[in-house]
Amino acid sequence: MDSYVRIGDLVKSVEVYGRMLKEGISPNPVSYTILINGMCQDGKVMEACGIFGQIVKCGFVPSILTYSSLIDGMCKLGNLKDAFYLLKRLSDAVKVFIQMGVYNIKPDMVTYTVIIKGISEAGRLKDALVFFFQSLKKGFLPDVVTYCTLIDGCCKQKQVYYGLRILEMMRRNGVSPDIAFYNVLINMLFKESYLEAAQELFEQLTESGPEPDIVTYNTMICGYCSLRRLDAAVQLFQKLIQGQCKPNAITCTILIDAFCKEGNMDDAILMFDKMLEKDPKPNLVTYSCLIDGYFKSENMKSAFELHEEMLKNISPNIVSYSILMDGLCKRGLMEKASLAFHCAIERGLVPDVIAYGILIRGYCKVGRMAEALILYGRMLISGIMPDAVIQRTITEHILEADQRKYSTAQPHDLQIRSVL
């Protein structure tokens, strides 16, 4: 049974379990736990609960592993979109956790980590912290996995204070965070505009380790750019190319995108040309950023030329075509935008809600409501639901068209009425 569960073949494992019963072999707590674990991994938590009931019915005392498997399965069902079911599943998991005390079974750190992860992923960070501190009071020492689970919850909930306190606690308890942990924390600090704290943390890494990797540098450079500190981003980039850790395509693309957004096309092109000369080579995102930059700087000729060059070297995706369409639509060049849209389809690309939205807004902007409505209908037939922006655009322009029609017809109507 265990071997089948390990390779993910639950059906065969259940068949072995059924054969045991037919041959009069009574399952023991170990075999029950194997089956529960397999069912929970396969998302069949209700069936696992049924097996759990059989353990109790047979007079066996469920083990820590049994409870941990069941709690983990219930928490993983927290991926359900319906908030009601999400809370219900978490409630069930917590009930099982509490029930362990009835059988005088003490949960271990694995069990605590499982419940902390489930509750944290549901956005209930404070509840997760309650269980975390409860584990500390019981004398358990959380490992890196537990701390990483909490820091992930802090990032999703934008709780910088708790994130920094967790880091302090790790160090105090002798747990050494790895570089991945620091990368997540630095990213959160930049997203919440804690520039000085991010810089201080990065300096600590360069001085005492763990050694920053390319993800760390990219996170720092991206963070600087997001806060419009392009000077600091370039300075760190220069430091990077002089060290052992070399920049990758993501690093260069981040800077090219930042240069373009600042309207500094000269430096963007300079970095792009250097990428063409030697590694790292530009990727699809790099090309897309530069094309977008050309459009925003009103250099349409260079934008088209670069797009053609990109098609020779890299297979485009719907995002790169959307950037091209957006640049054309903003300038009222709807025939060319429509051509780009159909070229994308001919290449086997499937337009998403963003691509449809760009073209629909473009048609509305130039007053071509018939084409906009046809495209809107085509989007619905394709099974793509419009977002709020598309719906608002369509509604507003229909109302505007009706108002213009009414205001145009009104003098004529008044003239007829005056004759009558």
Is residue 411 pLDDT above 70, yes or no? no
Lowest mean pLDDT among 43-52, 291-300, 373-382: 43-52
- 365 touches 395 (CB < 8 A): no
Angle CA 246–251–256, to nearest 5 = 135
* Cα 170 from chain centre: 26
Residue 334 CB coordination number (10 Å): 18
CA distances (Å), origin 365, targets 59, 94, 369, 396, 405: 73, 54, 9, 11, 17
Per-residue pLDDT tens for 10-41?
667 667 666 766 767 666 666 767 777 777 77
- 30 touches 51 (CB < 8 A): no
- 168 touches 140 (CB < 8 A): no
What confidence category does residue 104 fall into, taking pLDDT thresholds of 50, 70 and 90?
A: low
Q: Which two tokens stand for residue 195?
A: 């520039």
Number of alpha carbons in the 13 Å side-chain half-sphere of residue 65 = 10
> Is the bond preceding 210 in cis, omega lying within 30 degrees of 0?
yes
H helices of 265-387, where? 265-277, 284-296, 300-313, 318-329, 334-346, 353-365, 369-381
H helices of 42-140, where? 45-57, 64-76, 83-99, 109-121, 125-137
Residue 18 vs residue 185, higher pLDDT: 185
Q: Which two tokens stand for residue 70?
A: 């069941």
Per-residue pLDDT tens for 203-212?
999 888 899 9
What dihedral do alpha carbons 79, 85, 87, 92 form, nearest 10°?
-100
Is residue 1 pLDDT above 70, yes or no? no
Per-residue pLDDT tens for 252-290?
999 999 999 999 999 999 999 999 888 789 999 999 999
Helix (H, G, I), strand (E, B) or coil at 71: helix
Residues with Cβ within 8 Å of 77's Cβ and at least 6 positions away in sequence, in order, are 43, 45, 85, 89
- 360 touches 392 (CB < 8 A): no
Per-residue pLDDT tens for 356-391?
999 999 999 998 999 999 999 999 999 999 899 999
Exposed/middle/buried for 73, CB within 10 Å: 0-12, 13-18, 19+?
buried
The position carrying tokens 């709020």 is: 388
Residues with Cβ within 8 Å of 272's Cβ and at least 6 positions away in sequence, in order, are 252, 256, 282, 286, 290
Q: Which two tokens stand for residue 419?
A: 């004759």
Q: Which two tokens stand for residue 407?
A: 């205001």
Is residue 349 pLDDT above 80, yes or no? yes
Residue 67 vs residue 53, higher pLDDT: 53
What is the fold, at CATH topology level, of the domain defined by 315-420? 1.25.40
Indicate the DSSP class of residue 214: H
What is the fold, at CATH topology level, of the domain defined by 1-105? 1.25.40
pTM of the shown model: 0.69
Sign, CA torsion 230/298/286/317: positive
So where are the chain's domains? 1-105, 108-177, 315-420
**C-alpha closest to that of 102 among 50, 62, 57, 49:** 62
Angle CA 102–105–135, to nearest 5 = 105
Domains 1-105 and 315-420 share a fold: yes
